[in-house]
Amino acid sequence: MEHFRVRPLTEADFDEIVKAAGGVRAHPDADARDRPGADYLIAEAVVELKSLDDEGLAKPERQAKLAALFRLHQPHRPVIVLDRAALPEDAQRHYDRILEGPIKSAVSKASKQLKQSRAEHPGSNSSVLLVINNGYTGLDHTALLRMVAHRARQDTQEVDGVIVAGCYFYSDTFDSYFLWPIDYVPINVARPFKAYETLRGAWNAFAERFMTRVVCGEMPADTIKGPVIDTQFEIEGVTYVKPAPPMGKKSEFFARGRPRKDSTGLKHCPTVARTFPDTTREEWQRIVAHLPAGQRPGDTHEAWMQERAACAAADDPIRPFVPIKVSNEAWLTWCLTNAMTPSMKALAAYANDLFEQRIRAVFGSARERTRAGIVPSRYILVATEEIGQERANDVSHIAVLTERSHGEPVIRELVTNARIFHEHALMLACAYAVREGIDMVLWQKHLEYAWV
């Protein structure tokens, strides 16, 4: 299913809006002027239009600064969400300064243009900066409004008020939402922009006409502006993500949740454990007696245990070492049932078969951990953070929890900050449950940054 396509807003669009609000071009001869001035006169105000057309987060220098800032506060994360609220207060100010680059430039240029036009139009009594977010999707409307107002207060005395507006398009291919916010912030209250409400009405009327053309399929064939999507980049093996804003409510069309991208390339669950046939000394001696001479794993049970220790030492949190207790009699019965000759290969296959039976049983009983649900005294908990529209950016954690009758549970971490999505993490948690001799796995999803 295709998305709607919309074109970016143009200066001609604003000519139309300003005209509807009773305004005119401040300098009809703008192309021939040596000194740039403001764009419009609306009532008694000169108004300069600045459009943010580029994605500010696409600049390598800005990416490097953001990465350094967030890495300082989240040093062990494989995926870092560029969330201003996750930073301490002083770092939040640093975050704003990094993202404000295009805004600072716009305010600086507008200040000179507004000053020039005020001098040429002595009847004007107010200078207004109008900023349109046409492509800086890394900033939402509220953040952009705050930053524009801050820069105007800090950088110049030539701006009496700022207006921030934009068209924001969100879509999951079935549901589509368009937001057309516009807000005014007075900077010099002694010089208010009295025509703001008139301009806002013209903006809203234009938005209605624009959306009618979108719905009727009247957008130009070369329209390239699609819905807002996750913005991400990678530096030194760490992925930084600015998730697309949530769409506000669950989809009534996609019963299992809105479709997400999946660049992991996984078609089925990867291997989640490395099994090892574990035996007592007595069982080892019985098993070895049935193995061909050339396949006997060492001369002693101690040698077999050294092999076990070497495998355990190479443990990988995403593919843990799981010893499986085997007995000679059960193994021989399994070999007979499966028409296999006793061998090391058959012994390893038997251990794998036992592991699969146990992990399937644990997986079948796994359930979501809820506040109202009853939890066992000891269980494996797997928690997955869903991050934006890309499953490859999800981060999971696995731990053993032992509940206590009084106080917080005892937590033993098994996997932390693993870049794996929920289904993979759940099966991995079940593998740990087999290793730990635990019958119950509970799961939960953290949806703070999920695309819902």
Show Cβ contacts of residue 437 under 8 Å, excluding neighbours closer than 6 positions. Answer: none
Task: For residue 451, tell me if it sits in a domain.
Answer: no
pLDDT score for 224? 65
Distance CA(428)–CA(431), nearest Å, equals: 5
Beta-carbon count within 10 A of 79 CB: 22
Question: What is the structure's pLDDT at 1?
Answer: 44
Same domain flag for 119 and 209: yes
Helix runs in 129-280, H state only: 141-155, 196-215
Q: Does the predicted TM-score (pTM) go above 0.75?
A: yes
Instruction: Kindly state whether residue 420 falls inside one of the protein's structural domains.
Output: no
**Dist. CA 37–CA 46, nearest whole Å:** 9
CB count, 10 Å around CB of 376?
12
Give the span between the Cα atoms of 442 and 403, in whole angstroms.
13
Residue 449 identity = Y
Q: Six-digit token pair at 159?
A: 């701006």
Tokens of 331: 């193994």
Say whether both 156 and 43 belong to one domain: yes
Domain finish residue from 215, 231, 255: 215
Q: Is residue 256 part of a domain?
A: no
Angle made by CA atoms 322, 328, 330, in degrees to the nearest 5: 80
Same domain? For 204 and 286 the reply is no
Upper half-sphere CA count for residue 148 (Cβ side, 13 Å): 31
331 within a domain of the structure (yes/no): yes
Q: Are 346 and 328 in contact (CB under 8 A)?
A: no
The two structure tokens encoding residue 184: 């005014």
What kind and span of H or E run contains 282? helix 281-289
Return the pLDDT at 432: 97
> Could you tell me the CA-to-CA distances from 10 to 50, 162, 167 in Å, in that order?
11, 19, 12
Q: Is 255 exposed, middle or buried (0-12, 13-18, 19+ CB in 10 A)?
A: exposed
**pLDDT of res. 295:** 67
Gap between the Cα atoms of 242 and 227, Å rounded: 14
Structural domains of the chain, count: 2
**Is 158 inside any structural domain?**
yes
Neighbours of 18 (CB within 10 A): 23
Residue type, 141: H
Per residue of the chain (452 residues), give pLDDT as tens: 455 667 889 999 999 999 999 999 999 887 778 889 999 999 999 999 999 999 999 999 999 999 999 999 999 999 999 999 999 999 999 999 999 999 999 999 999 999 999 999 998 999 999 999 999 988 999 999 999 999 999 988 999 999 999 998 888 888 888 899 999 999 999 999 999 999 999 999 999 999 998 888 777 666 667 778 899 999 999 999 999 887 777 787 888 888 889 898 888 889 999 999 999 999 998 998 888 876 666 667 888 888 899 989 988 999 999 999 999 999 999 999 999 999 989 999 999 999 999 999 999 999 999 988 888 999 999 999 999 999 999 999 999 999 988 888 999 999 999 999 999 999 999 999 999 999 999 999 999 999 88
In the numeric block, which tokens belong to residue 59? Answer: 């600049």
Q: Which residues neighbour 80 within 8 Å (Cβ) at sequence distance 6 or greater?
A: 67, 70, 71, 74, 238, 239, 240, 241
- Residue 435 located in a structural domain: no
Integer Cα distance of 103 and 99 in angstroms: 8
Q: Please give the full DSSP string across 114-166, using - where no structure is assigned.
A: HHHHHHH-TT--EEEEEEEESS-TTS-HHHHHHHHHHHHHHH-SS-SEEEEEE
Backbone angles phi, psi at 135, to 5 degrees: -165, -5
Does any domain span residue 194?
Answer: yes
Q: Is 90 strand, coil or helix?
A: helix
Strand order in the sheet with 395-402: 367-368, 441-446, 378-385, 395-402, 410-418
Q: Are residues 21 and 104 in the same domain?
A: yes
Distance CA 301, CA 165 (A): 75
Residues 174 and 284 in one domain: no
Look at residues 362, 389, 408 and tell me which one is the last residue of a structural domain: 362
User: Are 210 and 75 within one domain?
Assistant: yes
- Of the candidates 360, 336, 354, 329, the one whose C-alpha atom is nearest the C-alpha of residue 276 is 354
Q: Are 182 and 163 in contact (CB under 8 A)?
A: yes
Residue 190, helix vs strand vs coil: coil
Answer with the one of 332, 362, 392 that is the final residue of a domain.
362
> Is 67 found in the same domain as 179?
yes
Same domain, residue pair 287 and 208: no
State the residue for tokens 């998730």. 243
DSSP category for residue 79: E
Tokens linked to 145: 């409004």
Place of tokens 């479709």: 259
Identify whether residues 50 and 151 lie together within a single domain: yes
Residue 367 within a domain: no
Q: Which residue has the tokens 């500010």?
A: 56
- Domain identity same for 184 and 294: no
Shared domain check, 203 and 74 = yes
CA-to-CA separations, 161 to 4, 123, 166, 194, 198, in angstroms, rounded: 34, 18, 17, 11, 15
Question: What is the C-alpha to C-alpha distance for residues 84 and 144, in angstroms, rounded to an integer?
Answer: 13
pLDDT tens digit sequence for 211-262:
998 888 777 666 667 778 899 999 999 999 999 887 777 787 888 888 889 8
Q: Which two tokens stand for residue 185?
A: 């912030």
Question: Nearest-CA neighbor of 55 among 166, 133, 132, 137?
Answer: 137
Q: 116 and 194 share a domain?
A: yes
Domain with 305 in it:
274-362
Q: How far apart are CA 248 and CA 447, in angstroms?
A: 13
